[in-house]
Structure 1
């Protein structure tokens, strides 16, 4: 059976990334998979900043990653890169913590000028963590995510199609339930 963990690297609780997260969850739930979620912003700040590998919350988050064969990484783009809070968590994964996993990176940014952030900023770190099967991923513009209020969001049809296409890029054998 497939195990999926979604790592959300947004430092903000009310973020357009939540709209993307909701669509990713709906996709997996629609095929009978209930993903684990790691909201990095909810991990203890002192454990992240002080690299407390022995923190029970870090150990639990790392266990979710270890037990999964699919990892979806969501991040907003800040200063042409992924977020610092995501980096602090990735630094706490074991050296080969992503070995043997299929990784789908998804980023939300203000301009298509940041599209290559996935390839030139995020993928090298994922590779350093042992990832060898990193899917193309998806990049969604902030302007393609409409705020509905109460921390609810809606992706426009173009962005939703790109996201669904990325989610469907998993090999069917990985999605056996």
Structure 2
């Protein structure tokens, strides 16, 4: 079974990003993936700030990334970039820790003004970590994920379609890589 790890770079539990991540997870499960999560906002702050590579929590989080065939990197956009807490975690991912994995960025921001944040702020860092197969990603704006009176979220049909298309691409690319890897064994 293919494995995916979702890295949630939001420092805020229950944010709109959570709804997009839940949708992506649901779609991955339908594609036959086992899904794990790294919620960087729940990692020990001292371990992140002081780059404690040997921390039990960091070792466990990195093991989830290492064991994945595909990785979704999700973050809200603050000041034209992904969150600082996500950056502190990515600083702890081993060199070449994303090599051989298919990567799908999922970003949410307040406006379209930061549409290129995935390309200009995240992709260079992912490349340094060995990622060579980074999909285009999904950038959405807050208005496409609306809080309901019941406390849930309603995602626009357009955004659901884009997430479906991107998760489908992630699944297909990952399955192809797994297939070719099995042939070379």
TM-score range, shorter chain: over 0.9
**For 1:130 and 1:149, how far apart are their aligned partners in 2?**
43
1:83-102 Cα offsets, whole Å, 9 max, x none, are 00000000000011001111
1:64 equivalent to 2:64? Answer yes
Q: Could you tell me the TM-score, scaled by structure 1's length? A: 0.95
Alpha-carbon separation, structure 2, partners of 1:150 and 1:118:
32
Q: How many residue pairs align between the two structures?
A: 177
Q: CA deviation at 1:31?
A: 2.2
Unpaired stretches in structure 2, ≥5 consecutive residues? 179-185
CA distance in 2, matches of 1:51, 1:107: 25
Which structure has more helix as a fraction of its residues? 2
Q: How does 1:1-177 map to 2 (within 5 A)?
A: 1-148=1-148, 152-170=152-170, 172=172, 174-175=174-175
Query: Equivalent residue of 1:85, what SS?
Result: helix
Contact 1:18 1:152 in 2 (8 A): no
Q: Give deviations 1:13-46, integer Å, cap 9, x for gaps.
A: 1210011011011101222323000100111111
- Deviation of residue 172 (structure 1)? 2.5
TM normalised by structure 2 equals 0.91
Structure 1: runs of 5 or more not aligned: none
Structure 1 SS opposite 2:34 = coil
Following superposition, which runs of at least 4 residues in structure 1 exceed 6 angstroms of deviation? none
Indicate conservation of the 8 Å contact 1:14/1:151, yes or no.
Answer: no
Kindly report the root-mean-square deviation, in angstroms, between the aligned alpha carbons of the 2 structures: 1.6
Deviation at 1:112, TM superposition (A): 1.1
TM-aligned CA distance change 1:2 to 1:143, over 3 Å: same
| Rounded Cα–Cα distance in structure 2 between residues aligned with 1:36 and 1:133 | 20
Q: Distance in 2 between matches of 1:112 and 1:140?
A: 8
Q: Distance in 2 between matches of 1:139 and 1:46?
A: 30
